[in-house]
């Protein structure tokens, strides 16, 4: 993976893009594929008898096959196209958990969840007088696994856990958590929003019951995402939204629903988005993810070592097992001022709470400056970040 594949770096050769955890840049094949669909292939899917519609349907459904192969998902019907991670989690909350959630039950999440994997669980717990239990973390940003055993019991209806933290970069031991939960017959949802470059992204092997992710964080377009769910659960779940495309037959008296996966894809879906996602998966398929991970490790280790030489700079999230995400706090400099300063040097980073406010409370900070690497970043980008932070220190402190 390199910058030459991504047109934005030709448009802005001086851009140091360090915000891939927010959204990745898009390779030209994805951009061209979406343009081609709208230029040459546009038609609505599933309903048309004419050629263009049949071809669009085939292209859309073929992406389900690509998702199946890429994530090693056992069955095509277990793949639902959503608009992103957030929608996937809301779908599981409303259609899987809420109908069975009773007063005194509990849902287990972790202290490092993105608001997308927190607020909806809190909301439905409040609705039903159930309890939200939180797996604590230590100062390094690692889950306190010994506490987990005490949190899981016969009233636990779901464990909802992030695989890779968007703020700390921590890679959680999801296999171990899933095993512990399954020993007590508790299903597990994994938030895989940040997982796309993880080298062994094999959902069947993880044995997660639900997995959610977003196209725009995996080199594809915005507005599209994937929900994987085990067939036995999806079969028994009620639809999330109602309307066209998700029915088998409708009368004024009653409606019967379509089979999986269409039961969960009401209305005209994001056809161009799904097709774009297919091109992103084609791009990713040809990437050696082990090599990309070695590269990311080098960038992260070098940046960590060099940044820690700056007096007054702290890195929030020091887990042993972590991805290319660095959350920085520079004493006496507000993260927004820091990001504005870096922007003057064409360095794009994110500042704030990163949709993890309880995590900010835990570390007693208002926010961080987050630099996140992807496969297209280089050592030169690391240099620029380090120089930028050093310049900032001279300027502000």
Active centre residues (catalytic)? 355
Helices of type H across the chain: 7-11, 28-36, 51-71, 85-92, 119-128, 145-151, 174-183, 203-206, 231-236, 271-285, 289-308, 335-343, 357-363, 379-396
Residue 346: which of 312, 303, 391 has the closest Cα? 391
Please, which residue, 143 or 392, has the CB nearer to ligand PMP?
A: 143
Q: Given the rule CB under 6 A, which of 32-40, 43-51, 189-197, 328-336 is the region that contacts ligand PMP?
A: 189-197
What single DSSP character describes residue 381?
H
Please pick, from the candidates 166, 368, 372, 374, the single residue that binds ligand PMP as defined by CB under 6 A.
166
Least distance in Å: CB of 103 to ligand PMP?
28
As a whole number of angstroms, the distance between CA 370 and CA 230 comes to 34
Token digits for 97? 């958990």
Please report, as residue ranges, which positions from 269 to 308 form the binding site for ligand PMP (by CB under 6 A): none
What single DSSP character describes residue 5?
G
Residue 208 binds ligand PMP, judged by CB under 6 A: no
Cβ atoms within 10 Å, residue 191: 31
Least distance in Å: CB of 170 to ligand PMP?
11
Would you say 196 and 217 are in contact if contact means Cβ atoms under 8 Å apart? yes
Least distance in Å: CB of 192 to ligand PMP?
8
Token digits for 381? 């980008």
Please pick, from the candidates 19, 77, 191, 381, the single residue that binds ligand PMP as defined by CB under 6 A.
191
Q: Cis (ω within 30 of 0) for the bond into 261?
A: yes
As a whole number of angstroms, the distance between CA 216 and CA 225 comes to 8
Residue 374 binds ligand PMP, judged by CB under 6 A: no
Cβ atoms within 10 Å, residue 222: 16
CA distances from 382 to 114, 171, 299, 348 (A): 26, 21, 7, 12
Q: Given the rule CB under 6 A, which of 169-177, 187-195, 229-237, 260-268 is the region that contacts ligand PMP?
A: 187-195
Please pick, from the candidates 92, 101, 107, 116, the single residue that binds ligand PMP as defined by CB under 6 A.
116
Please, which residue, 162 or 328, has the CB nearer to ligand PMP?
A: 162
Please pick, from the candidates 110, 214, 300, 323, the single residue that binds ligand PMP as defined by CB under 6 A.
214
Token digits for 392? 């900032």
Q: Given the rule CB under 6 A, which of 112-120, 271-279, 287-295, 388-396 is the region that contacts ligand PMP?
A: 112-120
Please, which residue, 90 or 341, has the CB nearer to ligand PMP?
A: 90
Burial (Cβ within 10 Å: 0-12, 13-18, ≥19) of residue 57: middle
Please pick, from the candidates 109, 135, 151, 193, the single residue that binds ligand PMP as defined by CB under 6 A.
193
Least distance in Å: CB of 197 to ligand PMP?
13
Please, which residue, 192 or 278, has the CB nearer to ligand PMP?
A: 192
Please, which residue, 114 or 393, has the CB nearer to ligand PMP?
A: 114
Sequential DSSP letters for 23-63 = -----HHHHHHHHHIIIII---SSS--SHHHHHHHHHHHHH
Q: Given the rule CB under 6 A, which of 43-51, 109-117, 310-318, 339-347 is the region that contacts ligand PMP?
A: 109-117
With contacts defined by CB under 6 A, how many residues of the chain interact with ligand PMP?
13
Token digits for 194? 């940040």
Please, which residue, 132 or 355, has the CB nearer to ligand PMP?
A: 355
Residue 114 binds ligand PMP, judged by CB under 6 A: yes
Please pick, from the candidates 63, 98, 162, 325, the single residue that binds ligand PMP as defined by CB under 6 A.
162
Please, which residue, 193 or 313, has the CB nearer to ligand PMP?
A: 193
Tell me the CB-side half-sphere exposure of residue 300, using CA atoms within 13 A: 26
Alpha-carbon 178 to chain mean position: 18
Tell me the CB-side half-sphere exposure of residue 201, using CA atoms within 13 A: 29
Please pick, from the candidates 33, 84, 141, 335, the single residue that binds ligand PMP as defined by CB under 6 A.
84
Please pick, from the candidates 85, 90, 142, 323, the single residue that binds ligand PMP as defined by CB under 6 A.
85
As a whole number of angstroms, the distance between CA 111 and CA 160 comes to 11
Least distance in Å: CB of 198 to ligand PMP?
13
List contacts with ligand PMP (CB under 6 A). Answer: 84-86, 114, 116-117, 162, 166, 191, 193-194, 214, 355
């Amino acid at each position: 993976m390199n910058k030459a594949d991504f047109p934005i770096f030709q448009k802005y050769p001086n851009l140091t893009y360090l915000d891939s955890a927010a959204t990745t840049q898009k390779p030209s094949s994805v951009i061209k594929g979406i343009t081609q669909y709208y230029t040459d292939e546009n038609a609505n899917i599933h309903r048309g008898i004419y050629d263009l519609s049949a071809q669009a349907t085939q292209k859309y459904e073929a992406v389900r096959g690509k998702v199946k192969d890429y994530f090693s998902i056992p069955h095509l019907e277990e793949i639902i196209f959503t608009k992103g991670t957030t929608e996937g989690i809301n779908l599981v909350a409303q259609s899987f958990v809420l109908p069975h959630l009773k007063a005194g039950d509990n849902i287990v999440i972790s202290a490092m969840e993105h608001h997308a994997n927190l607020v909806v669980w809190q909301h439905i717990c409040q609705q039903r007088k159930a309890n939200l239990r939180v797996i604590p973390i230590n100062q390094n940003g690692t889950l306190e696994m010994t506490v987990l055993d005490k949190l899981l019991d016969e009233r636990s209806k779901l464990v909802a856990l992030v695989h890779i933290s968007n703020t700390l970069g921590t890679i959680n031991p999801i296999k171990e958590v899933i095993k512990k939960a399954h020993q007590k017959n508790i299903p597990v949802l994994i938030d895989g929003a940040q997982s796309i470059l993880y080298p062994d992204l094999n959902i069947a092997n993880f044995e997660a019951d639900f997995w959610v992710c977003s196209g725009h964080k995996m080199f594809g377009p915005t507005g599209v995402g994937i929900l994987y769910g085990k067939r036995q659960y999806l079969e028994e779940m009620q639809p999330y939204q109602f309307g066209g495309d998700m029915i088998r037959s409708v009368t004024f008296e009653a409606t019967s629903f379509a089979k999986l996966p269409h039961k969960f894809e009401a209305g005209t879906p994001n056809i161009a988005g799904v097709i774009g996602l297919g091109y992103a998966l084609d791009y990713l398929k040809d990437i050696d993810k082990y090599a990309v991970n070695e590269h990311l490790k080098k960038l992260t280790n070098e940046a960590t070592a060099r940044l820690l030489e700056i007096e007054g700079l702290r890195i929030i999230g020091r887990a042993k097992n972590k991805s290319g995400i660095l959350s920085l706090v520079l004493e006496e400099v507000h993260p927004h001022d820091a990001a504005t300063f870096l922007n003057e040097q064409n360095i794009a980073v994110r500042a704030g709470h990163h949709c993890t406010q309880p995590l900010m409370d835990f570390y007693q900070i208002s926010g961080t400056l987050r630099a996140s690497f992807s496969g297209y970043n280089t050592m030169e980008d690391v240099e620029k970040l380090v120089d930028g932070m050093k310049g900032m220190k001279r300027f502000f402190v």
